[in-house]
Chains A and B, each alone.
Chain A
Amino acid sequence: MGAALAPPAREQVARLDRVWKERTGLLGWLTTTDHKRIGLMYFFTTLAFFAAGGTEALLMRTQLIGPNQKLLTPEAYDELFTMHGITMIFLVVIPMTTGAFGNYLIPLMIGARDMAFPRMNAVSFWIFLGSGIFLYVALATGQAPNAGWFDYVPLASKQYDPGLNIDFYGYGLIFNGISSTAAAINIVVTIFKLRAPGMSLNRMPLFCFAFLAAAFSLIFALPSLTLACLFLELDRQLGFHFYDVAFGGDPLLWQNLFWIFGHPEVYIIILPAFGIATSIIPTFVHRRMVLFPLVALAELLVAFLGFGVWVHHMFAVGLATEVTIYFAAASMIIVIPSAIQIFSWITTILTGTPEFKTPLLWIIGFIVFFIAGGLSGITLAAIPFDQQVNASYYVVAHFHFVIFGGAVFPILGGMYYWFPKVTGRMYHERVGQLSFWLSFVGTWVTFFPMHIVGIDGMPRRIYTYVASTGWGALNALESIGAYVLAAGLLLVIVNLAVSLFKGERVGADPWEGDTLEWSTSSPPPPYNYAVIPTVTSAYPMWDERDRRRDRARLEGGQGVLARGHETPASTVQDAHLDEVLGMPPYSMWPLVVGLVLFVGFVMLLLAHYLIAAGVGGMLAAALLAWHARQPEQAPLDPAGGSPPALTQEAAP
């Protein structure tokens, strides 16, 4: 791309390289505000937590391989299943999707140079890392949360769980929630304001619709969890009685607050996976999505309806039938937008000319698991049946189909799909397919028999069972499946790790993809795009004319936005160019804020409230310092592209 540049363009690009350069080495990573580097840090951190959560799962499966096993004590087992849930949800799937995939890809897909708030983006990561370390310190010191990931009171009250275990949970999730909220706000603002000129909402990739829906859900769902945890800690540490029946509190308050967060959460987990699926399918099927606008609306509808179904987690608590029926109906209605998406994917694959390469295989696997998990989900909206199998292994089977098959499979497919974009190298296709099949079979063998043992009456969260229950054979099968699955996942990592060094080098667009990220080099430069692309359809990379015109502008040195550390902003609906925003450069303050918050939460955990208040003061000072330095603005340069030129280009 750079070879054919005219001298003025070469100068502009060189200038961009200079203006967007960050520090080098470790310091560069610690102070970065580049969405791609932050995305990568999210990626590797979540991968580490994924390994931890997976190890916890394998330990549990080994304990349950036969009746009356003694590998784990009940204490250890309770901590492991609690940490497994917390890890996979709060430290793996959410940060992997919103943090790693969202961060890296959204600005590229919409033709922006960074997220809307680059320093807030960095601080989201540092807070996430801090909260993960915070929770794993608990495990390392043998006082990990141990009342399950939904942590029902009064089991989680001071009276029945007097150690620090639950305090790690309460403060850890509040801490983690700050990170997710900041990341979600960043995603919403980025998607609404930083889209390339011409990318009106109806031309926005479905990936971005999905992430927008998930981000909105996060913003509205997390306060409920934060409040629940705050009440919990007030009860535990300061003797309040929010959940204490003896003093007029109610344990169901916890359940309602938790699930008002907890069910939207399920869609927060699955929506980005939908987004990844709708990115991979058109590319490998060589056609546009069937009923694009309906799919976009369905994604938003899922997020919205997700707030009205939480009581289906509480069908066995003895609520009035009238109440439960309402939530059962809502839970059934939410099937419709999911079914629309499923059949749009299937029909698109069916009517296209699919190339069954590794990324598409993972998406096919995802569709299969999501249908199976969706169907078992519908059965759980039949209240009397739910009242039988609620809190049994049937439910464990259901949500692993949905969360592991449904959310993690697209994540793995996405890792393969965007690997050449991020690294400039191609993964090994045959090994990629092998890793898929191992994981696919492993997932079936691990989770499908759980339906049957659930029907046979096996409750979840039991550290062992007796032989007379007859659950032994299927549990042994599940454990074997788990080892196969682990091998498949390991192979994914090995494939990508080896390909990082030995993979074949590829250009900007090895797949003939449909979205904008494939128009910039692999890996992309720090500023993503020298010329801000213009867009006239929902499949900008398949619009040859537009891309040729962008290239001509670059080669001619016109329209290169090289005045400074800047990105254009556009109007929310129609994406008319609005203004050019100065973006803040690298900074150490996000890291400092993350560290100070970490110390603050440790002090709250240990009930040193005065020190915590002092840390709060330090936090305020760090946030002031954060703002003390204005965004770097290079002096106006006649050689730099000017906003008016862009406006003209963008005019339809």
Chain B
Amino acid sequence: MRRRAGPGRRRLRSVALPALLLCAAGLGGCGGGQSIVAPRSHQTSLIALLWWWMLGASVVVFAGAVVLLAIAWFRRRTPGLPLFGRREEVAGGMVIGFGIVIPLVVLVALFAASDLYVIRFSEAPAASSTSLTVDVIGHQWWWEVRYPGTEAVTANEVHIPVDTRVNVVATTADVIHSLWVPRLARKIDMIPGRENRILFDTPDAGTYVGQCSEFCGLQHAHMRMTVVAEAPSAFHAWLTNMARPARAPATAEQREGELLFMGRGCAGCHQLRGTEARGKIGPDLTHLATRKTLAALTIPNTPAELSAWIRDPQAIKPGNHMPDLGLSGAEVAKIASFLEALH
């Protein structure tokens, strides 16, 4: 899926490769779908590079301290230092050197690199520098996604065009959440009364997993999302479809499903644009069938899983705000059939 490496990534590879190998060999597990050391943007590449440098320096300091303690053990019967013997001023000098001088130099360098330089790429992007805006709104426990200037509304699946500076506006509808797509951007908290912004900008088409990273209640664990980066033409086709109203049911079963949807309570919470269903509490379902997963990545979006979800949402995601409506098996099947046609 990867098309080309950004300038930051090429630089990163040369430095990070040995460290990555070390990591993979020694510890396993690095580089999963939410790993900050598998960056796919200039911003996250710089942060990963910063991390590898900090790790390298930390290993040196840590090893140095352990070596000193090891020497202490081998020389446990001999007072004083190797070479310098029992000269107190040398012992004092070690404390000044290791405790003040060296840390000061290293910290100033780190401060300049991270908090003066790299931070320029992780702070909120200048509004004029972006060419697309996406609103992501946190809810307990799902993500509402809007594209200002269009009618498009969806949930838990953000689409962006590659090679485009995307202004992501992060807000919340209830408690504090935090939007974190580790491979694309730093995280940003979603705080009532605030409008925070971060930048999504990746050269690589692909699907990137994100997850809420501020504890937000019972189903914090199942508040996940994907960001789909795709070619601009594919993105625009997707957005055009998203902006359309819901398709009318095509079969008798689907029509019955729509009636049940409107009549049995679903419409109270969910919106199907272009119909009477105007609920604002749950996710917009106008194009539900286009999504890959349900309940914020909790289950895949298949007819069977969707039916199971409608029948007993509390069994799958305990504590979530969707009630058990007491529908019969036949009713559930009809509603699912209706929803699975909403492309």
**Interface of A toward B, CB cutoff 8 Å:** 73-75, 78, 147-148, 152, 154-155, 160, 245, 250-252, 287, 290-291, 294, 316-318, 321, 324-325, 328-329, 332-333, 335-336, 339-344, 346-356, 364, 367-368, 371-372, 375-376, 378-379, 381-385, 387-392, 449, 452-453, 455-466, 468-471, 473-474
Q: Which of B94-126 contact A (CB under 8 A)?
A: 94-96, 98-100, 103-104, 107, 110-111, 113-116, 118-119, 121-124
Please classify how large the interface on chain B is, using the bins under 10, 10 to 19, 20 to 34, 35 or more.
35 or more
Give B60 Cβ to nearest chain A Cβ, in Å: 10
Give A224 Cβ to nearest chain B Cβ, in Å: 20
- Are A251 and B191 touching (Cβ within 8 A)? yes
Q: Does B232 contact A (CB under 8 A)?
A: no
**Interface of B toward A, CB cutoff 8 Å:** 23, 27-37, 43-44, 46-47, 50-51, 54, 58, 61-62, 65-66, 68-69, 71-73, 75-81, 86, 88, 91-92, 94-96, 98-100, 103-104, 107, 110-111, 113-116, 118-119, 121-124, 140, 174-176, 178, 180, 182, 186-189, 191-194, 196-197, 209, 211-221, 297, 318-319
- Are A291 and B182 touching (Cβ within 8 A)? no
- Are A316 and B189 touching (Cβ within 8 A)? yes
Give B62 Cβ to nearest chain A Cβ, in Å: 6
Across the interface, A462 reaches (CB within 8 A) one of B123, B189, B209, B221, namely B221
CB contacts (< 8 Å) of B58 on chain A: these are 375-376, 378-379
Q: Known A455-B35, A456-B29, A473-B28; judge A387-B174 contact (CB<8 A).
A: no
- Are A457 and B29 touching (Cβ within 8 A)? no
- Are B27 and A346 touching (Cβ within 8 A)? no
- Alpha-carbon separation in the docked complex, A615 to B194 (Å): 42
Q: Known A74-B221, A456-B34, A456-B35; judge A382-B191 contact (CB<8 A).
A: no
**Which residue from chain A places its CB closest to the CB of B44 in the assembled complex?**
A388
Q: Known A342-B99, A343-B99, A383-B122; judge A349-B69 contact (CB<8 A).
A: yes
- Are B218 and A78 touching (Cβ within 8 A)? yes
Across the interface, A318 reaches (CB within 8 A) one of B110, B189, B213, namely B189
CB contacts (< 8 Å) of B31 on chain A: these are 456
- Alpha-carbon separation in the docked complex, A457 to B215 (Å): 15
Across the interface, A344 reaches (CB within 8 A) one of B72, B95, B176, namely B95
Q: Known A351-B80, A384-B186; judge A148-B114 contact (CB<8 A).
A: no
Across the interface, A351 reaches (CB within 8 A) one of B44, B79, B178, B318, namely B79
Give B54 Cβ to nearest chain A Cβ, in Å: 5
Across the interface, B213 reaches (CB within 8 A) one of A339, A343, A352, A459, namely A459
Please report the number of residue pairs spanning A and B whose Cβ atoms sit closer than 8 angstroms.
270
Identify 26 residue pairs between A and B in the complex whose beta-carbon atoms are under 8 Å apart, listed by A's number.
Answer: A73-B318, A154-B176, A160-B175, A251-B191, A316-B178, A318-B191, A324-B119, A336-B104, A340-B99, A346-B98, A348-B91, A354-B72, A368-B66, A368-B69, A382-B115, A383-B115, A384-B50, A385-B54, A388-B51, A391-B187, A449-B27, A455-B37, A456-B29, A457-B209, A461-B220, A469-B34
**Which residue from chain A places its CB closest to the CB of B92 in the assembled complex?**
A291
Q: Known A339-B103, A379-B58; judge A470-B29 contact (CB<8 A).
A: yes
- Alpha-carbon separation in the docked complex, A455 to B81 (Å): 39
CB contacts (< 8 Å) of A385 on chain B: these are 47, 50-51, 54, 114
Across the interface, A347 reaches (CB within 8 A) one of B37, B91, B107, namely B91
CB contacts (< 8 Å) of A316 on chain B: these are 178, 186-189, 214
Give A358 Cβ to nearest chain B Cβ, in Å: 15
CB contacts (< 8 Å) of A464 on chain B: these are 221
- Are B72 and A379 touching (Cβ within 8 A)? no
- Are A321 and B99 touching (Cβ within 8 A)? no
Q: Known A368-B66, A384-B118, A384-B186; judge A459-B212 contact (CB<8 A).
A: yes
- Alpha-carbon separation in the docked complex, A466 to B66 (Å): 38
- Are B68 and A465 touching (Cβ within 8 A)? no
- Alpha-carbon separation in the docked complex, A73 to B18 (Å): 42
Question: Of B80, B140, B192, which is in contact with the most chain A CB atoms at under 10 Å from its CB?
Answer: B192
Q: Known A385-B50, A388-B44, A471-B29; judge A339-B100 contact (CB<8 A).
A: yes
- Alpha-carbon separation in the docked complex, A392 to B51 (Å): 15
- Are B95 and A321 touching (Cβ within 8 A)? no
Closest 10 CB pairs of A and B: A457-B34, A382-B114, A387-B186, A245-B193, A462-B221, A318-B196, A340-B99, A459-B213, A470-B32, A343-B99
- Are B110 and A457 touching (Cβ within 8 A)? no
**Which residue from chain B places its CB closest to the CB of A82 in the assembled complex?**
B215
- Are B121 and A384 touching (Cβ within 8 A)? yes
- Are B36 and A455 touching (Cβ within 8 A)? yes
Q: Known A384-B50, A461-B220; judge A148-B79 contact (CB<8 A).
A: no
Across the interface, B100 reaches (CB within 8 A) one of A340, A375, A470, namely A340
- Are B71 and A245 touching (Cβ within 8 A)? no
CB contacts (< 8 Å) of B213 on chain A: these are 390-392, 459-460
Across the interface, A152 reaches (CB within 8 A) one of B35, B79, B176, namely B176
**Which residue from chain B places its CB closest to the CB of A288 in the assembled complex?**
B88
Across the interface, B86 reaches (CB within 8 A) one of A351, A387, A390, namely A351
